[in-house]
Amino acid sequence: MENKGLIFVISGPAGSGKGTVVKRLREIMPSIGLSVSATTREPRPGEIDGVSYHFVTREKFESLVENGEVLEHTEYCGNMYGTLVSEARRILDAGNDMILEIEVDGALQVKRIMPDNAVAVMLIAPSREEQERRLRDRGTETEESIAGRVARAEEEIALADRYDYVVTNETGKTDECAEKLRAIISAEHSRYERMKPFVDEYNQR
């Protein structure tokens, strides 16, 4: 896949508040594209097919994988999730940066496939207590699902050293957190290796 924009992989272990922060980031950076993943999970109340996720059956998901239509995929708490190649093409071919809101396993796959174009950011709640409180407050998960997600979050946070950035999402400070992400995106575009073509051309004149 030819990459024009950069890929910002944002992993927010359960309870990090990632959804709210990414929503705010997209308001302040409207040009950035959000890839809509495919999942076999049941929609939560208010989730819209094609907007929140492409909700598919397990059979359909398996055929997407077999036909090479997903960039990465993983199983998370009993459901399959994957990034569609078509979504990535739509955003990157238009020359825009792309956000992938995905868990750690998928994030590491993307870093392996596109080491030069993918930047991985892990978003973490300010404390474990706060993380669990946020999960319960959402009110959409069963106790079993909460326990599974908390356990998975612990495994994910243990892999923070594989990420390029770690950002804490303090309670009530969504704007500040989104600003930190904006600063990262801006700085990544200014890295020497990405600016080298400009510098070379500048020097030739």
Residue 76, interface with ligand 5GP (CB under 6 A)?
yes
Residue 41, interface with ligand 5GP (CB under 6 A)?
yes
Sign of the Cα torsion 135, 131, 161, 123 reads positive
Residue 163, interface with ligand 5GP (CB under 6 A)?
no
Cβ of residue 79: shortest distance to ligand 5GP, in angstroms? Answer: 7
Pairing of strands 54-55, 98-101: unpaired
Could you give the string, one character per residue 119-158, with x where binding to ligand 5GP holds by CB under 6 A and - elsewhere?
----------------------------------------
Residue 20, interface with ligand 5GP (CB under 6 A)?
no
Pair 131, 14: CB distance under 8 Å:
yes
AA letter at 140: T
Residue 102, interface with ligand 5GP (CB under 6 A)?
yes
Residue 87, interface with ligand 5GP (CB under 6 A)?
no
DSSP secondary structure code for residue 53 in this structure? B
Residue 40, interface with ligand 5GP (CB under 6 A)?
no
Cβ of residue 189: shortest distance to ligand 5GP, in angstroms? Answer: 24
**Residue 191: CB atoms within 10 Å:** 11
Between 73 and 180, CB nearer to ligand 5GP: 73
Residue 106, interface with ligand 5GP (CB under 6 A)?
yes
Q: What's the CA gap between 46 and 98, in Å, rounded?
A: 24
Which residue's entry shows tokens 């510098």? 199
Pairing of strands 118-124, 38-39: unpaired
- The contacts of residue 165 (CB under 8 Å, 6+ apart) are 119, 120, 121, 122, 184
**17 alpha-carbon distance from chain centroid:** 12
Residue 74, interface with ligand 5GP (CB under 6 A)?
yes
Q: At residue 199, what are phi and psi to the nearest 5 degrees? A: -60, -45
Position among 40, 83, 131, 169 found at the interface with ligand 5GP (CB under 6 A): 83
Cβ of residue 81: shortest distance to ligand 5GP, in angstroms? Answer: 4
Residue from 108, 90, 73 nearest 35 by CA? 90
Between 46 and 197, CB nearer to ligand 5GP: 46
Residue nearest to ligand 5GP (CB): 106
Q: Which residues bind ligand 5GP (CB under 6 A)?
A: 37, 41, 72, 74, 76, 81-83, 101-103, 105-106
